[in-house]
Amino acid sequence: MTERDGWARLGKLHTSTHVLNTPCLLPVINPNIRTVEPRELWERYGFEALITNSYVIWKHDKLKSKALEDGVHALLDYPGVIMTDSGTFQNYVYGDVEVGIEEIVSFQRDIGVDIATMLDVFGTPDMTKEEVKEAVRETIARAGVSIDAAEGTLLNGPIQGGVHADLRTQSAVGMAEYGFGVHPIGGIVPLMERQRYRELVEIILACREHIPWNRPVHIFGCGHPHLFPICVALGADLFDSAAYALFARDDRMLMPWGTVKLGDLAEFPIATEALAGQTPASVMALADDARCELLARHNLEVTASELARCRQAIRDGTIWKLVEERSHTNAALREATEYLYEHMPAGLVSATNPLRDGGVRTSQDLPTTPPSVAALGRLLTSYVSGAKQAILVSGASGPWRDKIGGLVHTIARRWPDAEVFIETPMGLLPYSLEDVSPWTHLMGPKSIWSSLSEEDIEFDLEAMLAGVEKTVRISIDNGKQMNLELIESALGSGVNREVERVELDRKMIADKVRYFLDVDEPTSEELISNSTFVYSKTHRVRNVHASDGEHLLSPRMRDGGLSLTLEGARRLHGTAIPTVVVNEDSVPFTRKGRNVMHGFIVEVKGELTPGLPCLVEDLNGEFIGHGVSLCTADEVACFTKGIAIKIRDGIGD
Ligand code: GUN
């Protein structure tokens, strides 16, 4: 895994000869009818992998003998990764598959495929639950002999279970016990043909967390591009598409937003290489074969570019924005997306970095998507205040320091029992976290800055200020003087005491320390009591120093996060801050400041959150370094390759 956003991830799948970048699409090639030549898929379109059917090859004598003699790569004239299916699907469609369980796996191995598939039992939506249960049981029963027959060739271990969540979970748990290389989620084609997308989401949710995180997940037979974003966000790594060719046969064009009939178009609403120089009328006028080929090429291009869009969205931290956008293209997909928002797995939220680098566009569903849920969860568990009065400021986007920093200082001087909150479309934000992403990066029209309902406000205040007695609502638009008058009329004239700016800054840092580092109030207080600050030209805290002058940490301007120094990390060691324990082999590397690799962590203390700080200790409990986690504790338990903790600094030799 190289980059991630929650469960969405960019990965590298190592086969014996290739490294496949995921998420990735495998075009389906029928060895008998090649709509687009495999060589062209590789050279012209850059597909790194394809899928074909070993059962079809096995059944046709000519194909079979050439494949056994020259290998499947020569048979198809394709140098990339070749995955083969096993005949399960043919059995589902035609019901006459007579190949043996071990025989079909051995055959795939013998013709040199990169990823083979065992002969699983297809569970359909219209089978009884008992029948599906039997399909799950029989598939698991075949796993061991199939793995043995593969003799080291990477093998697909499909998850079955029909539309029954409990059977899907059972299937995933059972199949995970065996040494499969990839886990396809199978038996979903009949659902997708009828756009039963909510059930697809339910199925993925029922099995995803039970599939070992180091194994790629393939959505078998999912080739419609508008489904890619939601599947990728749920942790899917591989897709295959026969749709590009099947749809082309009846003049249907795939688009990122759905399917369009060629005959309904007066002009093309999209530009692809295949359509260059054409009009719908000119394509209509082509002979059947030529038209089918042209549309298949178009469909392939659209499918590939939608997956590229998903990969880029993972890098940009915008996969949920893409999920939301695509959800509005189709009523069934919208239903599925809303279902997902309502049933967001806790594990997906805790795998999500709450920080975002750039702008976050608001939409109706912003507070229900994982980065927001993760941020809100942190806020509600870390925020501590004994304030009796709440002053709610509405009316403008952040960062708010320039807009109301002076007012907040005046409030602190005159009303010591009051706490200032900012009204945001994600709920109330304590002023002390005013520059923290995603709140500070929210973009949208002015109206979103005073859009909370009375119930929302009451809920948030209750969660953050158990004993609030009075609230005052003001707007940035009023100006400082008028707002002070409003506060005075609600809370009385207040007192007149000296409050140094540094005290406000100290509260801000203490709140951030708890928010980002998972520590409790006494710990955050102790860390920064009597601290001093170095300020930037714009009067923001740049560095936090302990009373003895040691540099402890620095707030980041970019996203409002905190960067610990070695000394800051050392002083937090032994608190609730997430910490990994590494084995002896890793110690000298961590001490030197080298990254902690998967496979060297023996224990995780606290909850690791991708993108947030964590400490490293050795087996004796000695602090040896600190960095940023790239993974969750569940991933630590199964990954054997790649960077687990990006180290910022080690304690040296
Ligand atoms: N192709 C589409 N769905 C399936 C499935 O469930 N199993 C196998 N082996 N191939 C498929």
Do the beta carbons of residue 22 and residue 11 sit within 8 Å? yes
- Which CATH code, of 3.20.20.105, 3.30.560.10, 1.10.357.10, 2.60.120.510, is assigned to 3-342? 3.20.20.105
Of the pLDDT bands very low, low, confident and very high (cuts 50, 70, 90), residue 354 is very high
Distances (CA, A) of 456 to 306, 327, 425: 37, 25, 10
Q: What is the 3-state secondary structure (H, E, C) of 488-554?
A: HHHHCCCCCCCCCHHHHHHHHHHHHHHHHHCCCHHHHHHHHCCCEEEECCCCCEEEEECCCCCEEEE
Fold: same for 501-568 and 578-650 = no
Which residue has its alpha carbon closest to ligand 1 atom 4? 186
Q: Look at residue 503 in the predicted model and tell me its pLDDT.
A: 93
Candidates 33, 13, 29; CA nearest to 21 is: 13
Mean pLDDT within 404-408: 96
- Predicted confidence at residue 116, as pLDDT, reads 98
pLDDT of residue 224: 93
Which of 231, 253, 234, 257 is CA-nearest to residue 243? 253
User: Is residue 542 pLDDT above 90, yes or no?
Assistant: yes
> CA geometry: angle at 123 spanning 121 and 124, to 5°?
140
Query: Ligand 1 center to residue 574 CA distance, Å?
Result: 50
Amino acid identity of residue 462, one-letter, is E
CA atoms within 13 A on the CB side of 284: 11
Which residues line the pocket of ligand 1, CB cutoff 6 A? 85-86, 88-89, 117, 120, 122, 158, 186-187, 189, 220-221
What is the chain's mean pLDDT, rounded? 96
pLDDT at 365 over 80: no
Residue from 120, 138, 139, 155 to probe ligand 1 pocket by mutation (most atoms less than 8 Å from CB)? 120
Which ligand 1 atom sits nearest the alpha carbon of residue 88?
A: 9
> What region, left, alpha or beta, does residue 363 occupy, with left being phi > 0 and alpha being psi -120 to 50 degrees?
beta
**The CATH number of 501-568 is which of 3.40.190.290, 3.30.950.10, 1.25.40.10, 3.10.450.90?**
3.10.450.90
The answer to whether residue 362 scores a pLDDT higher than 90 is no
Map out the domains of the chain as residue ranges. Answer: 3-342, 360-491, 501-568, 578-650
- Atom 9, ligand 1: residue with shortest CA distance: 88
DSSP 8-state code for residue 159: B
State residue 358's pLDDT score.
Answer: 76
Atom of ligand 1 nearest to the CA of 120: 9
- Reply yes or no on whether the pLDDT at 295 is more than 80: yes
Mean pLDDT throughout 432-439?
Answer: 95
Q: What is the pLDDT of residue 35?
A: 87
Cβ neighbours of 202 (radius 10 Å):
19
Which residue has the least CA distance to atom 10 on ligand 1? 89
Q: How confident is the model at residue 367 (pLDDT cuts 50, 70, 90)?
A: confident
Separation of 310 CA from ligand 1 center, angstroms? 24
Locate the ligand 1 atom nearest the alpha carbon of residue 156 and give its number: 9
C-beta of residue 141 within 8 angstroms of C-beta of residue 97: no
**Alpha carbon of 252 to ligand 1 centroid (Å):** 24
φ/ψ of 548, rounded to 5, equals -90, 10
Q: Which atom of ligand 1 is nearest to the CA of 188?
A: 3
256 Cβ neighbours under 8 A, 6+ residues apart = 225, 226, 302, 305, 306, 309, 326, 329
Q: What is the pLDDT of residues 467-493, one digit of tens each?
A: 899 999 999 999 999 999 999 999 999
Structure confidence by residue, pLDDT tens digits, 52-107: 999 999 999 999 999 999 999 999 999 999 999 999 988 888 888 889 999 999 99
**What's the pLDDT at 123?**
95
Which of 22-26, 28-32, 364-368, 514-518 is the least confident region? 364-368
**Among 28, 92, 97, 224, which is best to mutate for testing ligand 1, by the most ligand atoms less than 8 A from CB?**
92
Cα 13 to ligand 1 centre (Å): 20
For residue 18, give both structure tokens.
């290739």
132 CA from centroid of ligand 1 (Å): 14
- Note the pLDDT of residue 95: 82
The alpha carbon of 188 and the centre of ligand 1 are apart by a number of angstroms equal to 8
Positive or negative, the CA dihedral 347, 351, 354, 356 is: negative
Q: How far apart are CA 529 and CA 603, in angstroms?
A: 31
Residue of minimum CA distance from atom 6 in ligand 1? 186
From the CA of 540, how far away is ligand 1's center (Å)?
A: 57
Counting from 1 in the atom list of ligand 1, the atom nearest the Cα of 221 is 2
pLDDT band at 8 (very low <50, low <70, confident <90, very high): very high
> Which residue out of 29, 86, 89 has the highest number of ligand 1 atoms within 8 Å of its CB and is therefore the one to mutate?
89
The pLDDT tens digits for 195-228 are: 999 999 999 999 999 999 999 999 999 999 999 9
Mutate to test the pocket of ligand 1, among 124, 156, 220 (most ligand atoms within 8 A of CB): 220
As a whole number, mean pLDDT of residues 254-262 equals 95
Tell the residue nearest (CA) to atom 7 of ligand 1: 186
Q: State the DSSP string of 334-394.
A: HHHHHHHHHT--HHHHHTS-S--SS-EE--TTGGGSHHHHHHHHHHHHH-----SEEEEEE
Nearest residue to 79 via CA among 109, 114, 111: 114
d(CA 529, CA 542): 17
Give the dihedral of Cα atoms 402, 403, 404, 407; nearest 10 deg: 90
Statement: residue 536 has pLDDT above 80: yes
Tell me what pLDDT residue 94 has. 83
**For ligand 1, what atom is nearest to the CA of residue 123?**
6
The string of pLDDT tens digits covering residues 585-607 is 999 999 999 999 999 999 999 99
Please name the residue that has the structure tokens 């009329």. 489
CA of 288 to the centre of ligand 1 (A): 29
Place of tokens 């029989």: 138
CA dihedral angle for residue 513, residue 514, residue 517, residue 518, rounded to 10 degrees? 170
Which class does domain 578-650 fall in? mainly beta
The confidence score (pLDDT) of residue 34 equals 84
Question: Among 228, 219, 225, which Cα is nearest to 243's?
Answer: 225
User: Which residues are marked as active site?
Assistant: 85
